[in-house]
Amino acid sequence: MEPILQAFKSLELKLFSSDDVHVLFSPETLQLFHLNSTSARVLRDIWADNDLIAVASRYGMPEEKLRAFLGGVVYSVETSRPVVRERGNL
């Protein structure tokens, strides 16, 4: 598995969709990312398929654009401070 894909999946993000509203949620940092419908579909496909090249091809986008999108999400979550501290650390 590619490093960026592994980093993205390790964040355990949740995708919520309702009609035309799509939100990616980080349980660790409580961040919300508003997505368009294409981005939401791409993320669903990424979670179902570990092949970034195949997903990029399916949507007619350069692989680097997909990697940059995932990298941006990973960077945003990893550089944000967690909202809740670990247990035992007050």
Percent of the chain topping pLDDT 90: 79
Question: For the ranges 6-10, 38-42, 67-71, 85-89, which has the lowest average pLDDT?
Answer: 85-89
Q: Which residues contact 42 (CB under 8 A, 6 or more apart)?
A: 55, 59, 66, 69
What pLDDT sits at residue 50?
83
What pLDDT sits at residue 89?
55
In this prediction, residues 53-64 reach a mean pLDDT of 95
Could you read off the pLDDT of 12-26 as tens digits, one per residue?
999 999 988 999 999
State the pLDDT confidence band at 88, using cuts at 50, 70 and 90.
low
Whether the Cβ atoms of residue 8 and residue 46 lie closer than 8 Å to each other: yes
